[in-house]
Chains A and B, each alone.
Chain A
Amino acid sequence: MTVAAGIGLGERQAGAGAPPPAVTERRSRRKLTPYLLLVPGMAWLAIFFIAPIVTLLSTSTQTRPEGAEIGVFTQTFRFANYLDALEGYGPEFGRSFLYALLATVLALAISYPLAYAIAFKAGRWRNLLLVLVVAPFFVSFLLRTVAWKQILADDAWVADLLRALSVIGPQTHIINSAPAVVIGITYNFLPFMILPIYASLERVDPRLMEAAGDLYSSALTTFRKVTIPLSMPGIVAGTLLTFIPAAGDYVNSALLGNKDTTMVGNVIDSRFLRVVDYPTAAVLSVTLMASILVLVGFYIRRAGTEELV
């Protein structure tokens, strides 16, 4: 059999001069393989992600000709669309980023100890707890948001409890308010925060923390100087995966907020689907995406982790 394995090799003598053609042929095929693997998926993304973004860019400078039908726009390269939209919807932008920021910070505060407890304190319950921590998100996210609507309702136990403790006044609503929206957003994207942090903590060798303790570092210092830096990739990934969808969300604002909690997402949704004002929707989308990318770029640079890209 070993002999059989050698069949067809005889002619491949390595000449001292030019390399044998078999090699170059194989080289070129090897070079082609990655492209063959990439083409279908990347074509999909090119057609259904990049082309739409380009379309969006072009739509953003269109205008509706005088007296034209609803939904008909022509390209006039009116960059003033951007100024108009930003002037009109500045507060919505501000709220989107503020709520997203608050929700990200809250989610981090909730997730990190949970992930830490699962990674280091759960022993043999680790896998079970990991399942349980993502289990709530097997429930449809709209119904979860509706559940928050019920939990935060004026006549529900949470409001009663807070009133009894005088945390809120008798007339204060929780539902249909900015805090309700932030609570909803925070809850919504928790698994995107917990899982990356857990994944990076799991990779931390507990002996490193023991070593830090051995080198006269207090529990708190160890946490600050060893655990946090080592889990930084998870924190960066988690905060990004939370912040980005949070900034574009409009479901929580629509279900848990009021007209003063409107976010950019709500405006894009209504401009696009109800008012049929495509250019404005496009301007807002482009601006939202661009500002998120700029923020993310800065953040990744600061955090020193370019693992995601």
Chain B
Amino acid sequence: MSTATASSRNGRTSGQRLSRWLSTNAIRIYAVIGFAYLFVPVAYTFAYSFNNSGKSNLNWRGFTLEKWSNPCGAPDVCTALGNSLKIGLIATVVATVLGTMIAFALARHRFRGRTATNLTIFLPMATPEVVLGASLLALFLNAGINPGFWTIVIAHVMFCISFVVVTVKARLAGLDPRLEQAAMDLYANEAQTFRRVTLPLVAPGIMAGALLAFSLSFDDFIITNFNSGDVNTFPKFVWVSSLRGIPAQANVIASAMFFIALFTVLFAQLVAGRRRKAT
């Protein structure tokens, strides 16, 4: 009798323990599954960069390092990559400068037309890419401009500006105006205050905006596809070759970009963490 009670109590507690463990750790279990889901396609892309594929890279044909040793081996892939990088850099610089200026105007000044400005910043983000791409192409065609490298740059700057404005504005909103007042109180004129206090403090926001702009530009396909004419970018290359078969070199390049980006970000975090800890 007593043993039965003890064992049943034991059984209940271990069962309870399991369900308690599950409920306290449910969120963690969910997170692990979530991360797995996030990384499966990445794993595929990475794995297939070693595929000894011919024209199409959809099925596994055996392991090879050949594509990694010769990433430019497939025709046009590196030209397309080069274009993407160039466009990304130019568009990022222009959009970051223009967007930061707008963010400063919005965060630091009162002026008429504020609502209209905010709306004009918001609208490009609320417009689907097909519409942005198609409408811009319609404008270029009407104006008799042939799409090409610079029309892509123009398009990318256009849709990146809003994202830069939003990012920088958020940072500026969190900046205590008394810091700038303190600088002025300590004999810094407007330009010195900007250079010595405002800019260093807003820099992380500007940097984040620039990184966002670059990744949006580099990865953009839809708007680019409308406004590129004969110029090839990396996403466009993938799209066009997806009809005939994507060379594994594309996977090599995408994987390399992935690791470069990942290590850059991790390194930046590490440095920031060190600096925070340093005494």
Contact = CB atoms under 8 A, between A and B. Distances in A.
Do any beta carbons of A and B sit within 8 angstroms of each other in the complex? Answer: yes
Classify chain A's interface size. Answer: 35 or more
Contact of B31 (A42, A114, A151, A272): A114
A213 B226 CA distance: 54
Interface string A117-132: 1100100000110011
Contacts of B127: 53, 244, 248, 289, 292
B99 interface: yes
Contacts of B108: 34
B130 A37 contact: no
Interface residues of B, number: 81
A213 B53 CA distance: 58
A49 B234 contact: no
Interface of A: 5, 30-31, 33-35, 37-38, 40-42, 44-46, 48-53, 55-56, 59, 110, 113-114, 116-118, 121, 127-128, 131-133, 135-144, 146-151, 153, 187, 190, 240-241, 244-245, 247-251, 255, 264-265, 268-269, 272-273, 278, 281-282, 285-286, 288-289, 292-293, 296, 308-309
B28 interface: yes
Contact of A42 (B41, B102, B157, B242): B102
Contacts of A46: 120
Contacts of A31: 111
B98 A41 contact: yes
A251 B223 CA distance: 12
B41 A55 contact: no
B123 interface: yes
Contacts of B101: 37-38, 40-41
Kindly name the residue among A139, A141, A296 whose own CB sees the greatest number of chain B CB atoms within 10 A.
Answer: A139
Contact of B132 (A49, A55, A240, A281): A49
Interface string B186-204: 0100000000000000000
6 contacts: A37-B101, A56-B131, A131-B266, A151-B44, A187-B37, A292-B127
Given A121-B27, A251-B221, A289 B131 contact: yes
Contacts of A269: 130, 225
Interface of B: 27-28, 30-31, 34-35, 37-42, 44-45, 48, 58, 97-99, 101-102, 104-105, 108-111, 117-132, 134-139, 142, 154-155, 157-158, 161, 165, 187, 215, 219, 221-222, 225-226, 234-235, 238-239, 242, 246, 250-251, 254-255, 257-258, 261-262, 265-266, 269, 273
B68 to A, nearest CB: 16
Nearest to A195: B212
Kindly name the residue among A46, A141, A142, A281 whose own CB sees the greatest number of chain B CB atoms within 10 A.
Answer: A142
Nearest to B154: A48
Contacts of A296: 126
A197 B154 CA distance: 31
Contacts of B154: 48
Contacts of A42: 102, 117, 120
A40 B257 contact: no
Nearest to A116: B27
Kindly name the residue among B35, B109, B131, B165 whose own CB sees the greatest number of chain A CB atoms within 10 A.
Answer: B131
A132 B35 contact: yes
A139 B138 contact: no
Contact of A282 (B134, B251, B265): B134
Nearest to B190: A33
Given A110-B37, A127-B273, A144-B41, A45 B124 contact: yes
Given A37-B109, A42-B117, A135-B258, 5 more contacts: A44-B157, A140-B235, A150-B58, A265-B130, A273-B225
B234 A140 contact: yes
Contact of A148 (B34, B41, B111, B234): B41
A147 B38 CA distance: 12
A22 B161 CA distance: 36
B222 A37 contact: no
Contact of B126 (A121, A190, A292): A292
Given A31-B111, A48-B155, A251-B221, A265 B128 contact: yes
A121 B130 contact: no
A48 B128 contact: no
Contacts of B239: 142, 251
Contacts of B35: 114, 132-133
Contacts of B120: 42, 45-46, 49-50
A201 B125 CA distance: 23
A103 to B, nearest CB: 14
A80 B262 CA distance: 52
A248 B136 contact: no
A113 B31 contact: yes
Contacts of B137: 272
A201 to B, nearest CB: 12
**Nearest 6 pairs between A and B by C-beta?**
A248-B128, A41-B98, A34-B109, A52-B135, A37-B105, A147-B41
Contacts of B48: 147, 150
Contacts of A153: 58
A18 B123 CA distance: 45
